[in-house]
Amino acid sequence: MIPHENLLESWKKAAGTRAAELVEDGMLVGLGTGTTAHYFITALGQRIQEGLQIKGAVSSSLGSQELAKKVGIPVTTLDFNPTLDLYIDGADEIDPFLRLVKGGGGALLREKIVATAARRFVVIADETKLVQRLGTHCPIPAEVVPFAITPVRRRLEALGALVKLRQKPASDAPFITDNGNVILDCTFPDGVADPEAIDTAMQRIVGLVDTGFFLKMAEEAIIAGKDGIKVLRPN
């Protein structure tokens, strides 16, 4: 059964708020993107108002950066601080090995850049994001250079994907990422049996900049749901 929207929001908020407790004085923090990350950023802002002193935070999207500034988080960039202590972000799907699909908000490339700059990546989500097999509830997004849309689409179809160019909400115009690229959403009809193999094959396509697979990157997951908060580690 799909939980009521208010319940879902309360779970996202619980996960985001719990993750804010992981941040310590002096840390450099990576900020994710999406509705769950929004709760984390807001809770971190609140902790800073209460006296927490971090060195700075790097955002994975222009949207998160704007929110961070609004709630009083000192923002910095990877040019000044290329190594971060902690990255907190949401996900669209999480499997038992803590392999993720991300990019529902279109920020996958910067999210992966910030995640790999961090010593520790903790994913936050409500329990509806847990799946046995990646690709069952959502497509796998690929960030693609606009010049290469058609050849990349053909090669993704040859891998068995049904491919859709992502559009801006309520519009016929393509969604454009913060990096000036487009997103091709790839649905694999039975889900993805071997995420490593499909990721490798997708990454080989010239013109495809990155995929929404985040494999062996998250060290821990804070999952909120009907039984409260659970902290999961990879199986």
Ligand X SMILES: O=C(CO)[C@H](O)[C@H](O)COP(=O)(O)O
Distances from the Cα of 80 to the Cα of 28, 45, 76, 186, angstroms: 11, 21, 7, 35
Is 102 known to sit in a ligand binding site?
Answer: yes
Select 158 or 211, whichever has its Cβ closest to ligand X: 211
Site for ligand X in 99-158 (CB under 6 A): 102-108, 111
* The only residue of 67, 68, 84, 91 in contact with ligand X, by rule CB under 6 A: 91
Is 36 known to sit in a ligand binding site?
Answer: yes
Residue 185 interacting with ligand X (CB under 6 A): no
Residue 225 interacting with ligand X (CB under 6 A): no
Residue 85 interacting with ligand X (CB under 6 A): no
Is 77 known to sit in a ligand binding site?
Answer: no
Select 25 or 187, whichever has its Cβ closest to ligand X: 187
Q: Judge whether 93 counts as a catalytic residue.
A: no
Residue 33 interacting with ligand X (CB under 6 A): yes
Binding region for ligand X (CB under 6 A) out of 68-76, 96-104, 169-177, 194-202: 96-104
Q: Which of 174, 180, 183 is nearest to 152 (CA)?
A: 183
Residue 63 interacting with ligand X (CB under 6 A): no
Q: Least distance (Å) from ligand X to the CB of residue 173? A: 19
Place of tokens 């160019």: 165
Residue tagged active-site, from 66, 111, 143, 220: 111
Residue 35 interacting with ligand X (CB under 6 A): yes
Interface with ligand X: number of residues (CB under 6 A): 18
Burial of 9 (0-12, 13-18, 19+ CB in 10 A): middle
Q: Least distance (Å) from ligand X to the CB of residue 171? A: 18
Binding stretches for ligand X (CB under 6 A): 32-37, 89-92, 102-108, 111
Binding residues, by number, are 33-36, 89-92, 102-105, 129
**Residues taking part in catalysis:** 111
